[in-house]
Amino acid sequence: MQTMRSAIRLIAFLAAMSIALPAMAHGDHDARPLLRRAEVGPYTVSLWQVYPDVGSAIIPHLIVMFDDGMPDEGAVVSVQVGSENVHVMPSMTTTGAWETMSGVEPGDVVSVTISARGESWSLPTVVIPPPLTSVLPMRALIAISIFLATAVAWWAAGRTAQAWRRPITYRNVGLDG
């Protein structure tokens, strides 16, 4: 019976990790796609911008993600922002990706070139769009949530104090002695 429980726990752990591990890499939860599944020579590439407010980056930087795995050995990815070359290196957090080490601003024009085996391919140039804004008034929602939580806590504290102040009365519940 104990081995059955251990096997079930192991299966549950593996199932949870199979769900959690993809979320540890960059994706829709902390980055936005700028260009998806573009055919560049023999590669399929996506270009992502990592959000600056998720703790994974101090500045919004770019990820060049090879959707069909890592490029050939010796392949070089180069990125230009405006007319300046930007330092790019294989990503430490995302398999099959290269990351820039500097940020990009809205309006920047980004060019990506992939070179391998003496050939060179370029992605279409991408203009960095302005950051996405929430359609919900987040500051107002947070303020209302704080107010409601405080009001509920105040009410609960009052009810608790009221219960503690009430004298305990013992009633005879029909037991004649």
Cα–Cα distance measured from residue 167 to residue 113, given in angstroms and rounded to the nearest whole number:
80
Work out the average pLDDT over 112-123: 88
Give yes or no for a contact between 78 and 113, defined as CB atoms under 8 angstroms apart. Answer: yes
- Which has more confidence, 53 or 88? 88
CATH architecture of 26-127: Sandwich (2.60)
Q: What is the pLDDT, as a whole number, of residue 172?
A: 64
What long-range pairs does 145-154 form, CB within 8 A, spacing at least 24?
none
Work out the average pLDDT over 53-74: 70
Question: 80-113: b or e for each residue (b if 16 or more CB lie within 10 Å)?
Answer: bbeeeebebeebeebebbbbbeebbeeebebbbe
Q: What is the pLDDT, as a whole number, of residue 9?
A: 76
Q: What is the pLDDT, as a whole number, of residue 147?
A: 94
Q: What is the pLDDT, as a whole number, of residue 90?
A: 86
Q: How many CB atoms lie within 10 A of CB 22?
A: 10
Residue 10, pLDDT > 80, answer no
Work out the average pLDDT over 105-110: 86
Model confidence pTM above 0.75: no
Q: What is the pLDDT, as a whole number, of residue 148?
A: 94
Q: What is the pLDDT, as a whole number, of residue 54?
A: 46
Domains of the chain, residue spans: 26-127, 134-165
